[in-house]
Structure 1
Amino acid sequence: MIAGEDELAALAHTLITDKRRLTKAERDLVSTEITFTEAELAEHREAIRAGGDPLGEAFCSIRSPEVRRGQGATYTPPAIVNAMISWASGEETEPVRIVDPGAGSGRFIAAAARAFPQAALVAVEIDPLATLILRANATILGFVERLTVAIKDYRDFALPRVDGPTLFVGNPPYVRHHDIERSRKTWFTEAARSFGFPASGLAGLHIHFFLRTRQIARPGDYGAFITAAEWLDVNYGSVLRKMLADGLGGASLHVIDPKARPFTDALTTGAITCFRVGKRPAHFTMRTVDSLDQLTPMTAGQAVDWPTIEAAPRWSIFVRHGAPEHRSDEIELGELFRVHRGQVTGCNAVWIEGPQARALPPRFLYPAVTKARDLLAAGVSLADPAALKKVIDLPVDIETLPADELKAVKAFLKWARKMEANKGFVATHRRAWWSVGLREPAPILCTYMARRSPAFVRNRAGARHLNIAHGLYPVQPMSDAALDEIARHLNETASMASGRTYAGGLVKFEPGEVSRLRIPDMSSFGATA
């Protein structure tokens, strides 16, 4: 068993026979004091030749998922790698070059080397420890002479022209926008707009990699990337949806249920996107698979014409189980309810009741759902407001308050300023920084994010809700019996597949996704009050 990164680097270095290609960054990782027996080296060579990735597995074991997520280093299971390379093998023209952005230990490059024995291989990877492992694998598998390793950010990578198609294949790193530098967000925005695409600073690194591919790819090139599936619906994913409808040439989409573990150490919905640059087919083939053994062949799926896809604000409706076909006696929840996420306080430590609120007038303290557990513990009905914390919600115009109340409010606001509650983004964008602006109580509340399907709870306590929950507000008067029946139906039928699954198994339901849940039509409920 490999003990740490020093030993892993030394082992990879030892397995590399031609060390002239190594960069200074790679050499600096190696401790020459660590040695290995011939038996140990032979064991690793045998495992690699048998199709394994023992060094890559050691890398994932030594460096925790939490650390690797900082660079988006999530390694891909062989079943997915093989399915994607198999799809590429079925294209009309063999590639003369394969490019893997974010190559890691080289799983895609190794599979492509076997499938296309004449192609040049280009691995782009920012982590020198991963490139050492990749070079060791290439040495043992015999494709090192046609391999080029670029230790750099893919967004800075330039690709010379070649006579023939390039295959782009891999698992672009998933890094959330919070961890992307401002200068890189500026690059993304400017690059997207140069193609006429919408751009958002909220886009993750995997979307940046798609855009860089669009920049450097040529008509006739093709590719397949596996990423998290959230881009299908979120606003910042629109740039990728536009790219696929435009010059990137979307060919097919294969969404993988999170229970199939498309990413080894993250319970996340995966999406394999296949594209043909400059040669968009008339239809985009789309499907969902429950297990990895259903991936091959990646020609299966429902053919959806592009005008239909381009008119849809979200694409998940085309790939969910059973979608887009529905029973004729069903409607979308959004036809009966407006779904609103709860209010953002901007500083829960100030606005959720504590000792600081003791002198405030009770009429400004509202029982509220402040955490998902409030709803999960309530079951089908939230009946007792005494079990909830209270949120401070002051009026915008405090100067009209009676003198005794105004004195207490101003004393509280003086303390709140010391806590800098008046300086946050949310506070500075309110009509008055001290007025949270809670919504009226919703008759049905539902959880926003959990490791389970959403819980729908009747709000008999008249509770307000923060942004950890959604409120369902009827668009017309509705009887208590109808509300009870709708909540019951939603609890029985809503599934995790209707939301978006993120790393760690969290399933998120945005208001739009809740609005699209199916329920029986109004006549089933005797709905009006």
Structure 2
Amino acid sequence: MLTGDTAELRKARGAYFTPSAVARFISAWAIRSANDAVLEPSCGEAVFLHEAGRDGRHKGALVGVELHDSSAAQAEQTLRAEGIDADIHVGDFFHHSQFGVYDAVIGNPPYVRYQDFSGESRVRARQAAFRAGVSLTNLASSWAAFTVHSALHLRAGGRLGLVLPAELLTVNYAAGVRQFLMDHFNDVGLVLFEERVFPGVLEEVVLLLADGYDPRGIAGTDHMTMWQVRDAAGLIDLAESRRWTPPSKSAKWSAGLMSASGLAAYDHALTGQGFTVLETWGDTTLGMVTGNNNFFTLAPAKARELRLQPTDLLRLSPPGSRHLRALTLTDAALDALGDAGQASLLFRPADEPSKAAWRYIKSGELLDVHQAYKCRVRSPWWRVPYLRPADLFLTYMNADTPRLASNRARAHHLNSVHGVYLRDDLRTDGLSLLPLASLNSVTLLGAETVGRAYGGGMLKIEPREADLLPVPSPAHVRAHRDALNRVRPTAVAHVRAGRLLEAVALVDDVLLTRGLGMAAAHLAAIRNDHADLTARRVARGKDSARGV
């Protein structure tokens, strides 16, 4: 470690120095000839250049770029001491739109979370990515732009070998990066680790091995090669690889985190007639946005106290989703929620408000409710944009897994849940059977791959992601209607008691074991992978909460 260069300072600039075994593996893979020109951007102490030149036989250019002057000076000193001829440039890699071209670009890009990645650094990074046609959102961490900009310094046919956060596989903001890699490389490989490989760092990483760079983005690939090893020692002899084709080039690569057996069983289930995606059943949409739930949502007792009229109010699924965990919302259940003091009414006069409603509107203006952004941009401010009642509700912030619930009460919903509007010919079966049928191990595993981890390890699923959620097909559900109805009472009892996996086991027996003839070993692999991905998500949530 450099004198005065603390762990806090390294973390602030996203510098996590790479274990030599990892750098040696990537260097050996990426460099095919002693004459290759090699670039290590954000080189730190140049561990990759050390590996590239360690045998003393490399003749091609070895070049590093490093923002931190002390690290650059240390790199120059140690390289010179080992007799390695390399050029280290001090400066911001993103300042150089064309910093030469190379046969191989290798390294460990800085990892700075979006909260700390700001100002000129963010602007330059986004501009660099945009030059390659990749538009990054403000949520993007530093490594995303760095990956794209690194590729732009390759010759045609070149290799890109990088240590990247496992976020590459899962986050929405990396969609453009995933698309870019598959558009511009003939082969994309990933090495996944079962254990964390950076001492003292809880961030999970993958190794990106992208071969055959095509600057024009004409060739590309639609699949990737994956290897899974326990730790850095496993890089000495990579296990058997597997090939995986994502649903689209920009789609999440979360399925790459599955075991080989789990992925094979999952893919086999999805390629048959038993499963489809939720979009087949209907359209998933966001709920209504009030601008101020405290004002617009009311318990029945409060509405009576204010003397509001039925024409001033709509029946509402209360904010949140805890009450939807039992697969259906009935009239009786909604009434019980209201009687218990929950906000089961929405203030939304359809036409002329009653006198009591006008008084309530005036009280809101005295409290500046009308100044909230969503209220301010609509006219009149107190009329929430209308959505007709959905057929199903879909929970979108989940500790365990997204749940579907039938809206038998024909209640309206806010944006704390999504609404699913079933297709006319599927409405009957969708209302009565889909919420139960979706409690199966394939759907649970699919939710972990299409959703994303959120604060505290919650699983968040947006409407576009929900469209891709694997669920039993209409034909499969119809074929097993009677068996599903037989297990319904027990399954619902399990769900109400918080025993989700016991309910899932009942549905699995109907739809997977008997319905699809799924072998016990295949079902076990799917369940194990679901447990592993859930554990990863929860662990990442805890790490994030600690600021790791």
TM-score by length of 2: 0.63
Q: Offset at 1:274?
A: 1.7
Q: Is the 8 A contact 1:356 1:412 kept in 2?
A: no
| % identity of equivalent residues | 20
SS at match of 1:12: coil
SS at match of 1:252: strand
1:478 to 403, 422, 428: 428
Matched, 1:337 2:290: no
SS at match of 2:276: strand
**Distance in 2 between residues matched to 1:75 and 1:366, nearest whole Å:** 57
1:494 to 441, 445, 448: 445
Query: For residue 421 of structure 1, what is the aligned residue in structure 2?
Result: 372
Q: Offset at 1:371?
A: 4.2
1:97 to 18, 34, 38: 38
The change in CA–CA distance for 1:488 and 1:227 in structure 2 (over 3 A counts) is same
**Distance in 2 between residues matched to 1:348 and 1:148, nearest whole Å:** 60
The change in CA–CA distance for 1:454 and 1:228 in structure 2 (over 3 A counts) is farther
Matched, 1:87 2:29: yes
Query: For residue 408 of structure 1, what is the aligned residue in structure 2?
Result: 360
Letter in 2 for 1:155: F
The change in CA–CA distance for 1:199 and 1:272 in structure 2 (over 3 A counts) is same
Write the deviation string for residues 73-128 of structure 1: whole angstroms up to 9, x where unpaired.
Answer: 55666665554334324x46663333133x45655455445478636654544456
Matches within 5 A, 1:438-457: 439-450=387-398, 452-457=400-405
The change in CA–CA distance for 1:98 and 1:190 in structure 2 (over 3 A counts) is closer
**Distance in 2 between residues matched to 1:199 and 1:147, nearest whole Å:** 33
The change in CA–CA distance for 1:159 and 1:484 in structure 2 (over 3 A counts) is closer
Matches within 5 A, 1:193-272: 194-195=131-132, 197=133, 199-202=135-138, 204=140, 205-228=142-165, 237=174, 239-246=176-183, 248-249=184-185, 251-254=187-190, 256=192, 260-261=195-196, 265-266=201-202, 270=206, 272=208
Write the deviation string for residues 136-187 of structure 1: whole angstroms up to 9, x where unpaired.
Answer: 897499548645555543312476547x6342332342533x6554766665
Q: What is the number of residues matched between the two proteins?
A: 451
**Distance in 2 between residues matched to 1:303 and 1:269, nearest whole Å:** 19
The change in CA–CA distance for 1:182 and 1:478 in structure 2 (over 3 A counts) is farther
Write the deviation string for residues 430-460 of structure 1: whole angstroms up to 9, x where unpaired.
Answer: 5655444364454544443445443444556
Q: What is the RMSD computed on CA atoms of the aligned residues?
A: 4.9
The change in CA–CA distance for 1:317 and 1:151 in structure 2 (over 3 A counts) is same
**Distance in 2 between residues matched to 1:79 and 1:344, nearest whole Å:** 52
Letter in 2 for 1:272: L
Q: Is the 8 A contact 1:458 1:487 kept in 2?
A: no
**Distance in 2 between residues matched to 1:391 and 1:125, nearest whole Å:** 58
Matched, 1:513 2:465: yes
2:2 to 3, 7, 12: 12
1:390 to 334, 343, 357: 343
Q: Offset at 1:367?
A: 4.4
Q: Is the 8 A contact 2:185 2:220 kept in 1?
A: no
Flag structure 2 segments of 5+ consecutive residues without an equivalent: 482-548
Letter in 1 for 2:464: G
Letter in 2 for 1:526: R
Query: For residue 33 of structure 1, what is the aligned residue in structure 2?
Result: none
Query: For residue 519 of structure 2, what is the aligned residue in structure 1?
Result: none
**Distance in 1 between residues matched to 2:457 and 2:20, nearest whole Å:** 21
**Distance in 2 between residues matched to 1:104 and 1:241, nearest whole Å:** 26
Matched, 1:302 2:238: no
The change in CA–CA distance for 1:224 and 1:488 in structure 2 (over 3 A counts) is same
SS at match of 1:243: helix
Q: Offset at 1:508?
A: 3.6
Q: Offset at 1:412?
A: 0.8
The change in CA–CA distance for 1:107 and 1:447 in structure 2 (over 3 A counts) is farther
The change in CA–CA distance for 1:462 and 1:299 in structure 2 (over 3 A counts) is same
Query: For residue 34 of structure 1, what is the aligned residue in structure 2?
Result: none
Q: Is the 8 A contact 1:249 1:276 kept in 2?
A: yes
TM-score by length of 1: 0.65
The change in CA–CA distance for 1:274 and 1:342 in structure 2 (over 3 A counts) is farther
More divergent stretch after superposition (506-515 vs 329-338) = 506-515
Q: Offset at 1:252?
A: 0.8
SS at match of 1:199: coil
Q: Is the 8 A contact 1:413 1:434 kept in 2?
A: no
Q: Offset at 1:253?
A: 3.5
Write the deviation string for residues 192-246 of structure 1: whole angstroms up to 9, x where unpaired.
Answer: 5655x25354462323213322444443542123434666687754543453355
Matches within 5 A, 1:53-72: 60=7, 68=11, 71-72=13-14
**Distance in 1 between residues matched to 2:442 and 2:104, nearest whole Å:** 48
Query: For residue 286 of structure 1, what is the aligned residue in structure 2?
Result: 224
Q: Is the 8 A contact 2:53 2:84 kept in 1?
A: no
Q: Offset at 1:428?
A: 5.5
Matched, 1:154 2:93: yes
Letter in 2 for 1:153: D
**Distance in 2 between residues matched to 1:227 and 1:253, nearest whole Å:** 12
Flag structure 1 segments of 5+ consecutive residues without an equivalent: 1-10, 14-28, 31-58
The change in CA–CA distance for 1:139 and 1:339 in structure 2 (over 3 A counts) is same
